[in-house]
Structure 1
Amino acid sequence: MVIASPWRRLMASLVDGLILVPLSFLLMTLAGINPLTATTTFFQDFLFNWLPSWAYYVVFTALYGATPGKMALGLKVVRTDGQPVDWLTAFMREVVGKTLSTLPLLLGYLWAFFHPKRQAWHDLIADTLVVRPGQTHTGSEGGGPEPRP
């Protein structure tokens, strides 16, 4: 089990975005809002963007240990003891932790580039790691040796 690089995690996030943006557009369209021309309110953003995104991340992380983006890139979220993530841990990581990671100019995400175990703030809050299960240490991904959990 090798800790995933922040770059691979970023790519997984982009794949998840390719799923979440059309989902948000679909929900808005079903509600009678043109997502391409409408100016949305805070409540609409919360209802059509935040809630579906939180649900997506929490459900996939709790049930499978990975979102489709992470699955596509061979990544998995585990607790720091290597055990699977439960519902409370998934909620703390994906809702509470990622909200806090995002607020101060994405500093919580950037933290993963400098942390010895590549943990972002949401990983530290939920006591999780993002790993590449079944991989052996190669030392080549992410520009240097990867720390082991």
Structure 2
Amino acid sequence: MVTASPWRRLVAYLVDGLILAPLVVLVMALGGVDLANPTPLQNFTFNALPSWAYYVVFTALYGATPGKMLLGIRVVKTDGNPVDWLTAFMREVVGKTLSILPLGLGYVWAFFHPRRQAWHDLIADTWVARRESPQS
């Protein structure tokens, strides 16, 4: 397996955002939430929880979100085994929350780490691999 670049991971994250944003807006609108001024509880209920569910479910079941699938990358444990539910939760909820809190430093870390692991990867003992090109 080849380590995925932080840039490829960033593009996959942006693709996932393009998928999630309209869904979150739709769910908030159907829930009667004032989209211009949601309360913290509404934001948590209609934004954070569905987003966490999206990332945990796709990572646990497929090893990749739709954005990662499109970019040909996936999350695996550092030993190469597939990610389980607890690992997906630790990475996507706990780890990413800690990665974003200090001004996103946990994400930037991937640009300098030898295996391109961000803090959430280190916390969950995972890394992001890309499909290798077939050899000619």
Q: Secondary structure at the match of 1:130?
A: strand
- Matches of 2:31 and 2:59, distance apart in 1: 28
What secondary structure, in the 3-state scheme, does the structure 2 residue paired with 1:77 have? Answer: strand
Aligned length: 134
Partners of 1:20 and 1:76 in 2: CA distance:
18
Q: Look up the match of 1:130.
A: 128
Q: Which has the higher contact order (CA 8 A, sep 6+)?
A: 1
Q: Give the drift of 1:32.
A: 1.5
Aligned to 2:40: 42
Q: Deviations over 1:93-140 (max 9, x none)?
A: 00000000000000000000000000000000000010013347xxxx
Question: Are 1:64 and 2:49 counterparts?
Answer: no
| Structure 1 vs Structure 2 CA RMSD | 1.0
**Deviation for aligned residue 1:34:** 4.3
One-letter amino acid of the counterpart of residue 17, structure 1: G
Range 125-134 or range 81-90, more displaced: 125-134
Moved more, 59-68 or 39-48: 39-48
Q: Which amino acid aligns with 1:6?
A: P
AA aligned opposite 1:63? L
Query: What runs of 5+ residues in structure 1 fail to find an aligned partner?
Result: 137-149
How far apart in 2 are the matches of 1:20 and 1:34?
A: 18
Correspondence list, 1:12-31, <5 A: 12-31=12-31
Distance (Å, rounded) in 2 between the aligned partners of 1:71 and 1:98: 19
**4+ runs of 1 displaced by more than 6 Å?**
none
Q: TM-score, normalised by structure 1?
A: 0.87
Gaps of 5+ in 2: none
Residues of 2 paired with 1:83 and 1:101: CA distance? 23
Which of 76, 79, 92 is the equivalent residue of 1:78? 76
Give % identity.
Answer: 75
Give 1:2's aligned residue. 2
Q: CA separation in 2, counterparts of 1:126 and 1:90?
A: 8
C-alpha separation between the residues in 1 aligned to 2:23 and 2:74? 23
Superposition deviation, residue 87 in structure 1:
0.2
